[in-house]
Structure 1
Amino acid sequence: MQDTETKARQELAERVAREAGALALSYFTDRDQLVIETKADPQDVFSIADRNVETLVRDAVSHAFPDDGFLGEEYGLTEGTSGFTWVVDPIDGTSAFIFGIPAWCVSLSLLHGDEAVAGVIYAPPTDELFSCMKGHGATLDGRPLKLTADTTLRNGLTGLGANFRVPRETVVQFLDGLMQLGGMFIRNGSGALMLAHVAAGRLAAYYEPHMNAWDCVAGMLMVREAGGWIGPMPVGDLLMEGGPVLAAGPGARDEFEVLASRALASAG
């Protein structure tokens, strides 16, 4: 029964992600009209686009599944009674979005209790839809994703995230170790999208010392369902607080796990 209920919600998430993405894209093409605001830090930005896209998703979910809970980046947590909770980032990569860089996405994920059971990431600039359901694999535009061990830290690109919440040492030490291996990194500003790229085999791994749940739950499940490795999922006690996010393909896992562990320990 739970699989059936989860599948119905995954299908809704795919439809709503496209609708939300279309709304976000309309703001993106007319972003000179947006009023940009900041939160706790000058790098932590948002606009009416973030709010209205989240409202679109909330309204669709509450109409279809009124008993579900909902946690969104802009409007916080609404408790539900069904056991399911939606975790949503309406525009992940807002800084890239407002500067006209096409590296942003809509990220929707679904929890049942404390367990991630489905995720959808839609990238409007490339019109790519990543989707996954626990135990049923991951897809890109309907095509199955299956990671191999061919890509390593040495011959591939590693995604990197950084923000004001963590000591710079946790990033600097990881970068130093990666480059000593002969690896190279990329940062596009959207952690959710880079996690989707790990699941698609485009990135060897992804490292960020701190992410919020709405940024990463969908992407981490995506990587695991594609056959990759992830660190602990940021649910349960970490749902509102966030935590480190680690993800890697089979060929990168061993060296990546060592580098990431050392870097995170450096902050202690």
Structure 2
Amino acid sequence: MTVIESPTLASIDLDARYALACKIAKEAGERAVQMFRNRAALEVEHKGLQDVVSIADREVEGIVRKYVNEAFPDDAFLGEESAGGVSDALLGERVIWVVDPIDGTSCFLNGMYAWCVSIGILVDGEPAVGAVFDPNSGELFHAARGHGAFVDAVPLNANPARAVRDGVLGVGFSHRVKPEAFVPFLDRLLRDGGMFIRNGSGALMMAYVAAGRLIGYYEPHINSWDCLAGIVLVREAGGTVNDFFANDGLLRGNPIMAAGQALYPVLTTLVDGPAAQG
């Protein structure tokens, strides 16, 4: 099976990496859910406003890294918990695993079920593989470029909605962005008859966009480990995603906007305001 039709990938065994990403996501998720059930005993650190980390995040990331290093020692690795020590030299690597061991740590620590393990793979700067495992529902969302998107073995298709009133939009927000840069978007969304949900896990909501459960997703700033897997999922499900990796989105983050093909232009107008209509 050839999942990417590109001569530059002749030496890259993407099938093996795809299979491993799915395997690791499930095994890491199974370990995470054990700690979730005993979360009262976890040590917790606060990295900043809306930004916490627990021993569970570090242990799960360690599990993922160990598997990757053993199977593909020449591949690069970018994990949320180790991102602080990464340099721009990473951008020159052909294959980069981009991992959030527990996306939705605040939900995890407070006993809510909106968290997941997210594993994405970049090949030659392009999103190539995505695996998002929700251990609370037992669902594995997975995709590889040119191969389609699935939840377990069921094919996924983005929602065909044409207007924001046709379903529920996912949104995310962090205080890396000023509220006044985000509130006008919510005002336009609600005035157009739309409704939104924010569950605390960008990776999981991107997976829901791929599955057609949400009509789209918007966040004014998100980190690559929270969305790379979701980008692959949405694109392979027939949806559209903005150019997240422009201006070094891999290391510095960027806005993310994803939706079905019909709704994407509408969402662009809501995000950019009336000027987006030309």
- The two structures have a TM-score, normalised by structure 2, of 0.90
What secondary structure is seen at the aligned counterpart in 2 of 1:74? helix
Q: Which residue of 2 aligns with 1:95?
A: 106
Q: Which residue of 2 aligns with 1:220?
A: 231
Q: Which residue of 2 aligns with 1:47?
A: 54
- Letter of the 1:44 counterpart: D
- Letter of the 2:105 counterpart: T
Does the CA contact (< 8 Å) of 2:127 and 2:231 recur in 1? no
Q: After superposition, what is the alpha-carbon deviation per residue over 1:121-147, rounded to whole angstroms, capped at 9, x for unaligned?
A: 001110100001111111111111123
How has the CA–CA distance of structure 1 residues 67 and 237 changed in structure 2, closer, same or farther, with 3 Å as cutoff?
Answer: same
Q: Which residue of 1 aligns with 2:24?
A: 16
Higher helix share: 2
How has the CA–CA distance of structure 1 residues 264 and 140 changed in structure 2, closer, same or farther, with 3 Å as cutoff?
Answer: farther
Q: Which residue of 2 aligns with 1:209?
A: 220
Does the CA contact (< 8 Å) of 1:68 and 1:80 recur in 2? no
CA distance in 2, matches of 1:48, 1:264: 46
The RMSD of aligned alpha carbons is: 2.1
Matched, 1:164 2:175: yes
What secondary structure is seen at the aligned counterpart in 1 of 2:50? coil
Shift of 1:152: 3.6
Consecutive unaligned residues of structure 2, counting only runs of 5 or more, are 1-6
Q: Which residue of 1 aligns with 2:4?
A: none
CA distance in 2, matches of 1:111, 1:158: 27
CA distance in 1, matches of 2:54, 2:274: 33
Does the CA contact (< 8 Å) of 2:161 and 2:262 recur in 1? yes
How has the CA–CA distance of structure 1 residues 84 and 235 changed in structure 2, closer, same or farther, with 3 Å as cutoff?
Answer: farther
Q: Which residue of 2 aligns with 1:174?
A: 185
Q: Which residue of 2 aligns with 1:31?
A: 39
How has the CA–CA distance of structure 1 residues 148 and 185 changed in structure 2, closer, same or farther, with 3 Å as cutoff?
Answer: closer
Does the CA contact (< 8 Å) of 1:151 and 1:201 recur in 2? no
CA distance in 2, matches of 1:80, 1:160: 28
Does the CA contact (< 8 Å) of 1:171 and 1:263 recur in 2? no
- Letter of the 2:41 counterpart: Q
Q: Tell me which of 96, 102, 126 is aligned to 2:137.
A: 126
Over the matched positions of the two proteins, sequence identity in percent amounts to: 48
How has the CA–CA distance of structure 1 residues 151 and 81 changed in structure 2, closer, same or farther, with 3 Å as cutoff?
Answer: closer
CA distance in 1, matches of 2:64, 2:13: 18
Matched, 1:142 2:149: no
- The two structures have a TM-score, normalised by structure 1, of 0.93
- Letter of the 1:27 counterpart: M
Q: Which residue of 1 aligns with 2:75?
A: 68
How has the CA–CA distance of structure 1 residues 98 and 263 changed in structure 2, closer, same or farther, with 3 Å as cutoff?
Answer: farther
CA distance in 1, matches of 2:247, 2:51: 24
CA distance in 2, matches of 1:263, 1:52: 46
Q: After superposition, what is the alpha-carbon deviation per residue over 1:34-82, rounded to whole angstroms, capped at 9, x for unaligned?
A: 121111x231001000000000000000000011000000012485997
The alignment of Structure 1 onto Structure 2 pairs a total of residues equal to: 264
Matched, 1:57 2:57: no
Consecutive unaligned residues of structure 1, counting only runs of 5 or more, are none
Shift of 1:233: 2.6
